[in-house]
Amino acid sequence: MNIIITPSFTATVTIGMELGYSKQFYQKSQFIRILQEFQQQQIKERKVYLSACVSECEIVLSGQVEPHIKLDFINYPKFPLEEKQFKEEVEWLSVQLMNKLEQNRIVIVFHNETKMFEKNEAIDPRI
């Protein structure tokens, strides 16, 4: 048995399933197809293999209960990255998804910091 040990870097991204504030939603299967397209781009252009654990969740704040997709990333030992590149690739992928899925903001929780990407200061009117 081969045991491979790499530095542990993690990231969690939550992306709303509502397109903008439109009350129109996409399906998890659509999300996975879009995610795979961007992953293929990373593989082809930069030889980066960034796998994601995909699950559904809800973000709750005051009057808002919005379905989200949650992505969990690790520094996968079969395709390890240095910390800087790991973060850059997670950020690149997240921003691509943010734009494609018409999100105003996303939050990425890394193992040592939290980053919010925001297009403008608009807030969901249900909050």
pLDDT of residue 35: 98
Is residue 79 scored above 70 in pLDDT?
yes
CA angle 72, 89, 82 (to 5 degrees): 95
Quick one: residue 12, left, alpha or beta (phi over 0 = left, psi -120 to 50 = alpha)?
Answer: beta
Is residue 48 scored above 90 in pLDDT?
yes
- Assign 12 to helix, strand or coil: strand
pLDDT of residue 121: 86
B/e letters for 6-25, b = 16+ CB within 10 Å, e = fewer, are eeebebbbbbbbbeeeeeee
User: Where do the H-state alpha helices sit in 1-127?
Assistant: 28-46, 83-100
Confidence of residue 126 (pLDDT cuts 50, 70, 90): low
Tell me, yes or no, if the pTM score tops 0.75.
yes
pLDDT of residue 86: 98
Confidence of residue 21 (pLDDT cuts 50, 70, 90): confident
pLDDT of residue 127: 66
Q: Are 72 and 52 in contact (CB under 8 A)?
A: yes
